[in-house]
Amino acid sequence: QKEVEQNSGPLSVPEGAIASLNCTYSDRGSQSFFWYRQYSGKSPELIMSIYSNGDKEDGRFTAQLNKASQYVSLLIRDSQPSDSATYLCAVNRGSTLGRLYFGRGTQLTVWP
């Protein structure tokens, strides 16, 4: 079983729609959860972090965490073509600093 799994994609949505990206993780002791955006040929860019159950909103982005289900998601409202990228889910297993476990990523395309 992989540490972090993401829906395989690719995901294609029209401009203005809501894009929904999902991620599950295997370690119940995981404490910290992150979403990164990576444009082709570029480095990952941190866009959201979430640590507690529930929703966290930042602009057009909403992260949702359900520790009981070991599930984290990212919603992108009013999707724009500039949101087209690969979205990486990352998990830190413990409450201490350290390595991140990444999913393979979901490629999102927003078409005009």
Partner 1 sequence: NAGVMQNPRHLVRRRGQEARLRCSPMKGHSHVYWYRQLPEEGLKFMVYLQKENIIDESGMPKERFSAEFPKEGPSILRIQQVVRGDSAAYFCASSPTYGGTGVRASYEQYFGPGTRLTVT
CB 99, min distance to partner 1, A: 4
CB 94, min distance to partner 1, A: 10
Q: Which residues bind partner 1 (CB under 8 A)?
A: 32, 34, 36, 42-46, 49, 51, 88, 90, 92, 97-105
29 vs 98 by CB, closer to partner 1? 98
CB 44, min distance to partner 1, A: 5
2 vs 77 by CB, closer to partner 1? 2
Token pair 């992260």 is at which residue? Answer: 63
Return all residues near 7 (Cβ < 8 A) that are at least 6 apart: 21, 22, 23, 106
Which residue from 107, 108, 90, 105 is spatially nearest to 6, judged by alpha carbons?
105
Q: Give the Cα separation of 43 and 67 in Å (integer).
A: 28
